[in-house]
């Protein structure tokens, strides 16, 4: 008997060790981890720099609260906004909390409550973030929800233009929807959002909890679009496995969060920010990001070679990729891939999501494609 609530449909094995892209279960079985703990362990498991940072910082100071100045938060904030149009950061502990902060910030700043969100989006499980999430399975049974989230079809320019009115505080979206499939924002939709930003006071929140911190080959995915968000939320990859989240905001929002308006006990504690700084120092440089782009192109090419049939399609950007099986349910395949030694995660019912560490090697990509081909088509490719 388990003493745990049943929130998760857990896979029937426990991972107890990891190094880079490889992880091992209690029986010693090896897997390639193409989940990265759901886009979290972007530098792979037990990265030596992160191990060293945790060892050093844990001997100095773990936690002190936000009652005091925080040189670590100052430095991390400066690193995150460098060369971007964003100016300020607030740190918390998770993606949902980051989105709560974003929602509170736009409400307080605009004095309005209507926030436009999208079908199949995912923003987290707390009340604001859940209310913003465009998936019934996330919201059902928990009402009444936070009011005035208006859910529109994703990438529908006409619906967006009709809904974005003078009562609208913000538009909130992901650059690539991750939980409801792997659905990138279209160029046309990004352009429409940019136009709304230019012609109105409507704020734009981009949820980069999954797409941010190098996952798509740029620091943030919005950089590959014309959208200039007023607020960016982040978490998952930020701590490389240590729980930390945050938001970045533009200059004009600076006075909205004055002292005492919003906060957290744990948010941005010295251990968390030291780890995140180590992650950012590795990822936020052109050589690393170019390498992510190269590996993405290599991976996409290998997938397209292995799955040329029309029913398959490869979606996504950088190392946030989805393999769609043309409407087939992916759950049995994900289980068979586990069995074969490749950990993947479904994105909605129809897409296999591939989220290797950003440090994955070409050889590991070859091995993964081979395992995918073996399981999905019951044949092997030579590598
Ligand atoms: C995972 C995720 C969240 C929620 O993050 P938690 O840390 O689980 O609260 C929010 N938005 C997106 C896009 C996510 O992928």
Give the model's confidence band at 271: pLDDT under 50 very low, under 70 low, under 90 confident, else very high.
very high
Asked if residue 132 has its Cβ within 6 Å of ligand 1, the reply is no
Q: Is residue 381 scored above 60 in pLDDT?
A: no
Over the stretch 8-21, which tens digit does the pLDDT of each residue have? Answer: 999 999 999 999 99
236 vs 13, 41, 211, 319, 379, CA distance in Å?
Answer: 23, 8, 9, 14, 34
Strands 168-173 and 203-207: parallel
CA 221 to chain centre: 10
For the chain, what are the domain ranges? 20-47+286-378, 49-283
| 264 known ligand binder | yes
CATH of 49-283, one of 3.40.50.1100, 3.40.640.10, 3.30.110.30, 3.40.50.880: 3.40.640.10
Ligand 1: atom nearest CA of 243 is 7
Binned at pLDDT 50, 70 and 90, residue 379 comes out as: low
CB-ligand 1 contact for 122 (6 Å cutoff): yes
Q: Is 125 annotated as a binding residue?
A: yes
Determine if residue 336 is labeled as part of a ligand binding site. Answer: no
At 316, which helix (H) or strand (E)? strand 313-317
Beta bridge partners of 204: 171
What CATH architecture is 20-47+286-378?
Answer: Alpha-Beta Complex (3.90)
Question: Can you name the residues that pair with 15 across neighbouring β-strands?
Answer: 25
- Sign of the C-alpha dihedral computed for residues 112, 118, 121 and 127 taken in this order: positive
Q: CB under 8 Å to 284, separation ≥6 — which residues?
A: 79, 80, 82, 214, 219
Q: Which of 29, 56, 53 is nearest to 43 (CA)?
A: 53
When the pLDDT of each residue in the chain is averaged and rounded to a whole number, the result is 97
Bridge partners (DSSP) listed for residue 3: none
**Band (380; pLDDT cuts 50, 70, 90):** low
Instruction: Indicate whether residue 94 lines ligand 1 (CB < 6 A).
Output: yes
Is 124 a pocket residue for ligand 1 (Cβ < 6 Å)? yes
Verify whether ligand 1 is closer than 6 Å to residue 174 (CB atom): yes
C-beta separation of 21 from 44 below 8 A: yes
Provide the terminal-to-terminal Cα distance of the chain, rounded to the nearest Å.
Answer: 44
Distance between CA atoms of residues 33 and 55, nearest Å: 24
Cα 235 to Cα 42, 220, 261, 317, distances in angstroms:
12, 12, 21, 18
Give the percent of the chain with pLDDT over 90: 96
Looking at ligand 1, which residue's alpha carbon is closest to its atom 11? 123
The arithmetic mean of pLDDT across residues 116-127, rounded, is 98
Residue 208 annotated in ligand binding: yes
Nearest CA to ligand 1 atom 6: 95
Per the DSSP assignment, residues forming a β-bridge with 203 are 170
């Amino acid at each position: 008997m388990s003493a745990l609530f049943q929130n998760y449909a857990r896979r029937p094995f426990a991972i107890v060790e990891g190094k880079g892209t490889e992880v091992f279960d209690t029986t010693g079985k090896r897997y390639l981890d193409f989940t990265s703990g759901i886009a979290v362990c972007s530098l792979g498991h037990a990265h030596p720099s992160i191990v060293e940072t945790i060892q050093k910082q844990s001997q100095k100071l773990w936690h002190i609260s936000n009652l005091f100045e925080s040189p670590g938060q100052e430095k991390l904030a400066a690193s995150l906004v460098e060369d971007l149009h964003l100016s300020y950061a607030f740190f918390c502990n998770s993606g949902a909390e980051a989105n709560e902060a974003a929602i509170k910030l736009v409400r307080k700043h605009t004095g309005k409550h209507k926030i436009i969100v999208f079908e199949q989006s995912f923003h987290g499980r707390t009340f604001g973030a859940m209310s913003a999430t465009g998936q019934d399975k996330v919201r059902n049974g928990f009402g009444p929800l936070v009011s005035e989230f208006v859910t529109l079809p994703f990438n529908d320019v006409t619906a967006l233009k009709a809904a974005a009115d003078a009562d609208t505080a913000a538009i909130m979206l992901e650059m690539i929807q991750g939980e409801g499939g792997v659905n990138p924002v279209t160029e046309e939709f990004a352009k429409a959002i940019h136009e709304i930003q230019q012609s109105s006071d409507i704020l734009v929140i981009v949820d980069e909890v999954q797409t941010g911190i190098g996952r798509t080959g740029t620091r943030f995915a919005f950089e590959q679009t014309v959208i200039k968000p007023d607020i960016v939320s982040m978490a998952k990859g930020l701590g490389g496995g240590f729980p930390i989240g945050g938001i970045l905001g533009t200059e004009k929002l600076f006075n909205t969060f004055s002292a005492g308006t919003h906060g957290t006990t744990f948010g941005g504690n010295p251990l968390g920010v030291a780890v995140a700084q180590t992650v950012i120092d590795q990822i936020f440089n052109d050589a690393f990001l170019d390498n992510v782009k190269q590996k993405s192109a290599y991976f996409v090419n290998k997938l397209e070679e292995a799955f040329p049939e029309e029913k398959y399609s490869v979606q996504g950007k950088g190392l946030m990729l989805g393999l769609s099986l043309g409407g087939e349910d992916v759950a049995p395949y994900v289980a068979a891939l586990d069995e074969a030694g490749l950990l993947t995660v479904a994105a909605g019912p129809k897409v296999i999501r591939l989220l290797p560490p950003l440090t994955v090697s070409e050889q590991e990509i070859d091995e993964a494609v081979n395992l995918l081909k073996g399981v999905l088509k019951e044949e092997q490719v030579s590598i």
